[in-house]
Amino acid sequence: MSKIVFFDVDGTLVGETKEIPASAKQAIAKLKENGVYVAIATGRGPFM
């Protein structure tokens, strides 16, 4: 069975700095190493 994790962007994955923290990048890399699909789920427009 496949596993997938969805992340919201604003206020969850990206804070006020508008950058993804290194700790989040490391966690996402670890998920991917373990065969977990990672996806973004957001209501944010494509040009925001």
Residue-wise pLDDT for 1-48, tens only, equals 899 999 888 777 887 888 888 999 999 999 999 999 999 888 877 776
Query: Within a domain: residue 35?
Result: yes
| Tokens read off for 26 | 């490391």
Query: Within a domain: residue 20?
Result: yes
Query: Within a domain: residue 36?
Result: yes
pLDDT confidence of residue 8: 86
Strand ranges in the chain using DSSP code E only, listed in sequence order: 3-7, 36-40
Query: Within a domain: residue 45?
Result: no
Instruction: Let me know if 10 is a catalytic residue.
Output: no
pLDDT confidence of residue 31: 96
The one catalytic residue in 6, 8, 19, 36 is 8
Provide the residue range defining the domain that includes 9: 3-40
What contacts 36, CB < 8 A, 6 or more positions away? 3, 4, 5
Domain count, the chain: 1
What is the distance between the alpha carbons of residues 15 and 11, in angstroms, rounded to a whole number?
5
Query: Within a domain: residue 47?
Result: no
Q: What is the pTM of this model?
A: 0.74
Length of the chain: 48
pLDDT confidence of residue 10: 77
What is the distance between the alpha carbons of residues 44 and 9, in angstroms, rounded to a whole number?
8
Query: Within a domain: residue 46?
Result: no
pLDDT confidence of residue 29: 97
pLDDT confidence of residue 9: 81
